[in-house]
Amino acid sequence: GLPDRVTIYEVGPRDGLQNEAAIVDVAVKAEFVHRLAEAGLTTIETTSFVHPKWVPQLADAAELLTALDLPSTVRAPVLVPNERGLDRALEAGVREIAIFASATETFAKKNLNSTLDDQFTMFAPTIRRALDAGLAVRGYVSMCYGDPWEGDVDLDQVVRVGARLAELGCHELSLGDTIGVATPGQVIDLIGALGQAGVGTEVLAVHFHDTYGQALANTLTALREGVTTVDSSAGGLGGCPYAESATGNLATEDLVWQLDGLGIETGVDLAKLVATSVWMAEQLGKPSASRVVQALAG
Ligand code: HMG
Ligand code: MG
């Protein structure tokens, strides 16, 4: 069966913008977040407290949070890799963070300057201190279905990384198809294997990039398997600067079109969302990658 309601976890301001080379003005970022909230999105990942040299686009994280004025019903998590990032996030008054683990050795090196094992040495005290401070902590697992350097990724290795994050206290696990190569059979296999390891669908979210055009099919598959939280990016913005061949995330508009058609509630006003992505595309000087944005705004 399918759920009656899906929680959309919007990543456009973070995953979307982190890949844009030209620095976007902080006022434009703030307007983007406000418009997303106005369109009915209730969970918006706004920025990252990573090393500013690694992701210059999001070096203005603290400034952006100061510029935001969101209703208390909107959750605004931020990406945090380590204790230094947590300190900065706490200083900015953040209530929710997301840490991001790699399921592969190569991506742990490229994205975190760490190893598959050592990443947990960085995450454990970060998560513990965040929980002690009363924050909610999401955990991402990247490269769940394929890695541009290593190729196929061992299912057991993905499950081990996910289970470890859950054990460290993450309330939600987001399964990242960082380079958008997954197909639906893999999604069924991973969700099944996590279930066997004691990580049920109630704590899972899915995070698909749309490089090979599989994101919507993979999402529908995950919903059928019992997942009810889906990550997406307004206008299909995005990619990961440290993952070769990664393109944008599943577009939020494409997701909402499908869920609306299925009678699944999201609380999102599609017309307002499309208008937001059209406006953002103008700011970035290039058309939106979302098929639904193209169809409705064309
Ligand atoms: P490092 O160079 O190994 O850091 O980078 P370090 O611990 O050796 O520290 C070096 C210096 O950096 C020190 O300063 C630290 O204080 C400073 P110094 O003492 O030399 O003056 N530093 C920091 N400064 C500000 N904020 C911080 C921070 N940490 C250390 N947080 C590090 C290690 C993890 C910091 C680095 O690799 C990094 O920032 N990586 C982030 C990469 C990134 O943001 N990637 C994109 C997001 S992941 C993604 O997109 C995937 C996802 O969407 C899911 C999916 O699609 O699969 C989530
Ligand atoms: Mg991503």
Rounded CA-CA distance 237/223 in Å is 23
Kindly state the percentage of the chain with pLDDT values over 90.
Answer: 95
* Non-local CB neighbours of 241 within 8 Å, separated by 6+ positions: 18, 19, 55
Over range 5-10, report the average pLDDT. Answer: 98
With a 6 A CB cut-off, is 109 part of the ligand 1 pocket?
no
Give yes or no for residue 239 having a pLDDT over 80.
no
Q: What is the pLDDT of residue 247?
A: 84
With a 6 A CB cut-off, is 55 part of the ligand 1 pocket?
yes
With a 6 A CB cut-off, is 119 part of the ligand 1 pocket?
no
Q: What is the pLDDT of residue 42?
A: 98
Q: What is the pLDDT of residue 245?
A: 67
Ligand 1 pocket: which of 9, 19, 51 to mutate (most atoms within 8 A of CB):
51
HEC string of the chain equals CCCCECEEEECHHHHHHHHCCCCCCHHHHHHHHHHHHHCCCCEECCEECCCCCCCHHHCCHHHHHHHCCCCCCCECCEECCCHHHHHHHHHCCCCEEEEEEECCHHHHHHHHCCCCCCHHHHHHHHHHHHHHCCCEEEEEEECCCCECCCECCCHHHHHHHHHHHHHHCCCEEEEEECCCCCCHHHHHHHHHHHHHCCCCHHHEEEEEECCCCCHHHHHHHHHHCCCCEEEEEHHHCCCCCCCCCCCCECEHHHHHHHHHHCCCECCCCHHHHHHHHHHHHHHHCCCCCCHHHHHHHC
Q: Model confidence over 67-122: pLDDT tens digits? A: 999 999 999 999 999 999 999 999 999 999 999 999 999 999 999 999 999 999 99
Over range 232-238, report the average pLDDT. Answer: 95
Kindly state the percentage of the chain with pLDDT values over 70.
Answer: 98
Q: Which ligand is nearest to the CA of 54?
A: 1
Q: Is 144 a catalytic residue?
A: no
Give yes or no for residue 229 having a pLDDT over 80.
yes
Give yes or no for residue 159 having a pLDDT over 90.
yes
Q: Whose CA is nearest to atom 8 of ligand 1?
A: 113
Q: What is the pLDDT of residue 298?
A: 73
- Tell me, yes or no, if the pTM score tops 0.80: yes
Distance 17 CA to ligand 1 centre (A): 17
Give yes or no for residue 223 having a pLDDT over 70.
yes
> Taking CA 70 as the corner, what is the angle to CA 69 and CA 74, rounded to the nearest 5 degrees?
160
Q: Tell me the pLDDT band of 178, cut-offs 50, 70 and 90.
A: very high
Q: Which ligand is nearest to the CA of 57?
A: 1
Give yes or no for residue 35 having a pLDDT over 90.
yes
Q: What is the pLDDT of residue 238?
A: 86
Q: Model confidence over 107-152: pLDDT tens digits? A: 999 999 999 999 999 999 999 999 999 999 999 999 999 999 999 9
